[in-house]
Amino acid sequence: MIEITHYKAIENSTKKASFSIKISKWGNFFIKDISYFKKEEQRWITFPSRPYEEDGKKKIFLIQWI
């Protein structure tokens, strides 16, 4: 079972909320700071990311599922 936790509504132009999920089947595994977006009829989520610099260039580290 997947449970949404720590839901926080956000009044932004496209970002509508942030939340965490708990996957109890995996020993209460948490993924925190997921973002929910909506623009017109399109909806999507993004997993947590963090900015960093490499060779003087700004980049974003994203979680990758293998």
pLDDT, tens only, 2-45: 999 999 999 888 999 999 999 999 999 999 999 999 999 999 99
Q: What is the pLDDT of residue 66?
A: 46
Please give the C-alpha separations between residue 53 and each of 25, 47, 49, 58, in angstroms, as whole numbers.
36, 20, 13, 5
Q: What is the pLDDT of residue 64?
A: 59
Which pLDDT band, with edges at 50, 70 and 90, does 61 fall under?
confident
Task: Specify the 3-state DSSP secondary structure of 26.
Answer: helix
Q: What is the pLDDT of residue 21?
A: 94
Q: Which residues contact 24 (CB under 8 A, 6 or more apart)?
A: 1, 3
Number of domains in the chain: 1
Alpha carbons 44 and 54: distance in angstroms, whole number = 28
User: Has this prediction a pTM greater than 0.75?
Assistant: no
| Tokens representing residue 57 in the block | 């260039």
Domain, as residue range, for 49: 2-62
